[in-house]
Amino acid sequence: MRAIQVTVCGGPEQLVLGERADRQPSDGEIAVDVAASGVNFIDVYHREGRYPMTLPFVPGLEGAGTVTAVGAGVSGIQPGDRVAWATAQGSYAERHVLPAAVALPVPPEMDLKDAAALALQAMTVHMLVVDVWRLAPGQTALVHAAAGGVGLLLCAAAKHLGARVIGTTSTPEKAALARAAGADDVILYTEVDFEAEVKRLTDSRGVDVVYDSVGKTTFEKSLNCLRPRGMLVLFGGSSGPAPSIDPIVLMQKGSLFLTRPTLFHYTATPPERQARWAGVLDWWRAGAIKATIGGAYPLAEAAQAHRDLEARKTTGKLILVP
């Protein structure tokens, strides 16, 4: 079986394609022929060693494919079923053995590549707008990196829930994508100061919530964009780790809330995981969200996918196709 393996943490060149021993599923596990693997910034953090992993390891938490075998004790899943997953390490491979408990059913009308593109990011968005901060009609959300994979889904979901959406992007082309996804206003942060523009767009009131996956370069201004008692939801760090903050600053800026959620804690049990995926499928069937695949790379080009993602050259979702 071919798989990408990391033996030394570092740059994209550490993503090396090679042969890896295949194995049959053990108790509670299923084996899946991978149709596509999702590429996410958390994979970059694992590769760099920012989030420590036991070496060597196969990257990738997300994917979709067809079940080929099931281990003892597995019920409700059988060979031939189509499944996706968002929290099963080892997805950059032709075949993946994963716990049956994390498998998500893929409806027959959904393409497996779309399922791989939606599993982690769409469930993350569901977490962000339903549980972390429950968006409601009349509220205003600021979405950074609005043309990225999560950003486009966030714009669409927030608009579906009746919120006003302000997005930030780097180019007019990305701004057009964000608007098409649901953003009411888009700020080109390469041309104007996004903090000042948010204040102008909200008549100095500020936004109810900021969804920030960028981190280091946006963190402080994101706090300044909030109205009193608003929330900064920091869920990534594509520009680097956010700076440390004295909690007294949150009081001084308006009794603000700051949270750093992860999908793992919001899909901690099988019922919660399945309910969140069901919510995503409801949105998808209603046409509220869609998979926007910005690039499909052969498995052997995983390093290039990471380079492109880190350089912010891409829009939408990147996937690897074995």
The pLDDT of residue 224:
98
Q: What is the 3-state secondary structure (H, E, C) of the chain?
A: CEEEEECCCCCHHHCEEEECCCCCCCCCEEEEEEEEEEECHHHHHHHHCCCCCCCCECCCCCEEEEEEEECCCCCCCCCCCEEEECCCCCCCECEEEEEHHHCEECCCCCCHHHHHHHHHHHHHHHHHHHHHCCCCCCCEEEECCCCEHHHHHHHHHHHHCCCEEEEEECCHHHHHHHHHHCCCEEEECCCCCHHHHHHHHCCCCCEEEEEECCCCCCHHHHHHCEEEEEEEEECCCCCCCCCCCCCHHHHHCCCCEEECCCHHHHCCCHHHHHHHHHHHHHHHHCCCCCCCEEEEEEHHHHHHHHHHHHCCCCCEEEEEEC
Query: Which candidate, 102, 106, 77, places its Cα nearest to that of 91?
Result: 102
The confidence score (pLDDT) of residue 320 equals 98
Measured in residues, the chain has a length of 322
Which CATH number fits the domain 2-111+291-321, given the four candidates 1.10.260.40, 3.40.980.10, 3.90.180.10, 3.40.50.10860? 3.90.180.10
Strands 2-5, 16-19: pairing kind: antiparallel
List per-residue pLDDT tens for the chain, 322 residues long: 999 999 999 999 999 999 998 999 999 999 999 999 999 999 999 999 999 999 999 999 999 999 999 999 999 999 999 999 999 999 999 999 999 999 999 999 999 999 999 999 999 999 999 999 999 999 999 999 999 999 999 999 999 999 999 999 999 999 999 999 999 999 999 999 999 999 999 999 999 999 999 999 999 999 999 999 999 999 998 888 899 999 999 999 999 999 999 999 999 999 999 999 999 999 999 999 999 999 999 999 999 999 999 987 788 999 999 9
| pLDDT at 33 (0 to 100) | 98
pLDDT for 313 equals 78
**Per-residue pLDDT, 87:** 94
Q: Chain-wide mean pLDDT for the chain?
A: 96
Amino acid, single-letter form, for residue 267? T
Residue-level pLDDT at 237: 86
Question: What is the model's pLDDT at position 127?
Answer: 98
Q: Which fold has domain 121-263?
A: Rossmann fold (3.40.50)
The sign of the CA dihedral 58, 62, 64, 69 is positive
| Whether 285 contacts 261, CB under 8 Å | no
What span, in angstroms and rounded, lies between the C-alpha atoms of 22 and 174? 41
Q: Are 60 and 92 in contact (CB under 8 A)?
A: yes
Q: Where are the domains of the chain?
A: 2-111+291-321, 121-263
Same topology, domains 2-111+291-321 and 121-263? Answer is no
User: What integer pLDDT is reported at residue 30 of this predicted model?
Assistant: 98
Q: Which tens digit of pLDDT belongs to each residue from 122-170? A: 999 999 999 999 999 999 999 999 999 999 999 999 999 999 999 999 9
